[in-house]
Amino acid sequence: MLDIKLIRENPDKVNELLKRRDQNLNIDEIIKIDQDRRKIQNQADNLRKERNEISNQIGQMKKNGLDTSEIQAKTRTLGDNIKELEQEETRLIELQNRILLEIPNLPQENVPIGHDETCNVEVKLVGEVPKFDFEPKNHWDIGSDLGILDFERGVKISESRFVIYKNFGAKLERALTNFMLDVNTSRGYQEILPPFLVNSRTMTGTGQLPKFAEEMYKCAQDNLYLIPTAEVPLTNIYSDEILKESDLPLYMTAYTPCFRREAGSAGKDTRGLIRVHQFNKVELVKLCTPETSKEEHEKLTEDAKNILNLLELPYRIIELCTGDIGFGASKCYDLEVWMPGSGVYREISSCSNFTDFQARRANLKYRPNDTDKPQFVHTINGSSLAVGRTTAAILENYQQADGSVKIPKVLWPYLNDERVITR
């Protein structure tokens, strides 16, 4: 959520930055609502002050044996007027918040300007793309041939875009999860196992609600949502709390299953593990001070890259343009892994700096120097990594001519030193 004070004091700048995201915001409407709200609040405050002064007079008049019926009637009238103003103030606050909740974050000044993904900037290529003396297969064919992925029965027991991991497929997914968590905790992240169902307040805190309600799986009877990413519960752990500056930066990592309806992605990547409704992911989340957030964002991106480096998977780093960054992000890097079966790079991690956007929604603050006025923290997160997509990347990049798949050396200890997947 944007700071209304920022909009009030810098309307032209806010409008300029939002236009870089192809957002045409009616700044004048927002400012008018804010002016009306503050005017009514001031009127109500003045009437409360007047009522308090009259109440003091009533007390004194009663002590002196004077008739207070007329002045008490005036107090009742003031009370009715205050109540009307409070109701109107509440209405305007709710209206203002509804509008603010729909406005995306402001991009940082150095984010590339562009309308869509075609304007994203390739920052760096890492690793060598494998060369095969045979026609490389897609991971869904490799997994089916090896008997480790079962897409047909996944559809049978659920619906399309669900998959069953079997035998070595299940072992590989579990090994990758444990490997990622071990690496992350060795780099200073606290491991968390959060709930997989959260309330609407929590989903609103990280920006999934209200804008992306149709993308979420909701348990209507309990008014709970299946999480689309561990970012949601992790970021909200300290909502409505005030942390000490000495607690920051706070690093957290978590494995969770993730659930996404993908309502707006009809026809996109419908085969394989790239875009499914349920998938496993290891997440990185940081809470930090505004002064360190840019540095911490770069460091978190390095932590996500480290997993790909250890797995020796070729990838590229993409800086997203203003028209492609996520709703709550102010700056974002995507890590895209090479997929030989389709001959393209696919996103496997998205590392974003949200500045104070999520913290305002979740009311997540810290107190500088333990004595100053509380301020909103900055939140940063990224995938480390999407486990299913990592499984897919290993199957495609490490495939062999005989149909087997080699295992990256770093995973051997997690698989009882098994080094090859065979039928």
CB 183: neighbour CB atoms within 10 A?
A: 18
Q: Which of 239, 330, 349, 350 is catalytic?
A: 350
In the annotation, is 69 catalytic? no
Q: List Cα–Cα distances, 154 to 256, 272, 391, 412, in angstroms.
A: 19, 11, 17, 28
Q: List Cα–Cα distances, 52 to 45, 57, 59, 67, 86, in angstroms.
A: 11, 9, 11, 18, 17
Q: Which of 347, 367, 404, 418 is catalytic?
A: 347
In the annotation, is 76 catalytic? no
Q: Which of 260, 346, 360, 361 is catalytic?
A: 260
**Amino acid identity at 17:** L
In the annotation, is 21 catalytic? no
Instruction: Confirm if 48 and 82 have CB atoms less than 8 A apart.
Output: yes
Cis peptide preceding 210, ω within 30 of 0? yes
Of the candidates 180, 246, 88, the one whose C-alpha atom is nearest the C-alpha of residue 411 is 180
Q: Which of 21, 51, 346, 389 is catalytic?
A: 389
Backbone angles phi, psi at 336, to 5 degrees: -120, 125
Backbone angles phi, psi at 259, to 5 degrees: -130, 120
Q: Which of 38, 48, 261, 275 is catalytic?
A: 275
CA atoms lying within 13 Å on the CB side of residue 148: 25
Q: List Cα–Cα distances, 242 to 199, 234, 246, 375, 376, in angstroms.
A: 21, 16, 12, 9, 9
In the annotation, is 360 catalytic? no
- Indicate the pairing of strand 344-353 with strand 315-319: unpaired
Q: How far apart are CA 315 and CA 308, in angstroms?
A: 8
Q: How far apart are CA 400 and CA 422, in angstroms?
A: 10
Residue 228 has what DSSP assignment?
S
Of the candidates 136, 38, 43, the one whose C-alpha atom is nearest the C-alpha of residue 84 is 43
In the annotation, is 260 catalytic? yes
Which residues are designated catalytic? Answer: 260, 275, 347, 350, 389
